[in-house]
Structures are given as C-alpha cells and as structure tokens.
C-alpha cells in the first residue's frame, strides 16, 4: 500500500518537474526543475525492476547537466 503511495507521489513529482521545466525562464531554474524530473522518474524505474537502467540513468543525469551548463555559459565565455 505504501509502495503504491510512493509511486503515485513520484509520478506527481515527475509531472510537476516537467511542467516547471517547460514554464521556467531562467536557465538555472530550468536545470533544477529538470533534476526534479529525473529524481521523480527514478522510483518508477526501481519499482519496475529495471535496476541496471536505474544505474545508467543515475550516471547519465549529471553528465547531461554538465553539457547543459557548458551550453548555457557559452556566450559568456565567447565574449573574452
């Protein structure tokens, strides 16, 4: 029962993160909302039993954040 509750809660978190990623304007706020989206879909993958997929998603998330940070700060770096 409590597992179902946590699954529904993580579903709500994933939807909230997706909507916030859509409507945020500041790119750093967008990245924070994207991180909440990734954290919201992780319990769904765990409950389904795909543990290797969960490990890969947990490793790929920060790498994609690094690449997003490089693209966000590109204009600042190109000025000099």
Partner 1 sequence: MALLTDLVIPLAVCGLVALYGAIRALIERDIPLKLLYLNVFGFAISGSFVLLFPDILTIFAAVAFFVGTTLEANIIASACARESIPSEEQNP
Q: Does 71 bind partner 1 (CB under 8 A)?
A: no
Q: Binding marks (x or -) toward partner 1, 37..56, rule CB under 8 A?
A: --xx-xx--xx-x-xx-xx-
Q: Does 25 bind partner 1 (CB under 8 A)?
A: no
Q: Does 18 bind partner 1 (CB under 8 A)?
A: no
The structure tokens listed for 36 are 């909440």
Residue linked to tokens 């543990």: 51
The structure tokens listed for 49 are 């039993």
Q: Nearest-CA neighbor of 17 among 39, 2, 48?
A: 39
Scanning 24-50, the segments in alpha helix (DSSP H) are 27-48
Interacting residues with partner 1 (CB under 8 A): 2-3, 5-6, 9-10, 13, 16-17, 20, 26, 28-29, 31-33, 35-36, 39-40, 42-43, 46-47, 49, 51-52, 54-55, 58-59, 61-62, 65-66, 69, 72-73, 76, 80
């Amino acid at each position: 029962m409590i597992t179902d509750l946590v699954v529904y809660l993580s579903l709500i978190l994933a939807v909230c993160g997706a909507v916030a990623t859509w409507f945020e304007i500041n790119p750093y706020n967008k990245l924070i909302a994207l991180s909440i989206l990734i954290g919201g879909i992780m319990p769904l993958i765990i409950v389904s039993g795909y543990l290797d997929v969960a490990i890969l998603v947990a490793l790929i998330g920060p790498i994609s954040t690094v690449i997003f940070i490089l693209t966000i700060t590109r204009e600042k770096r190109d000025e000099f």
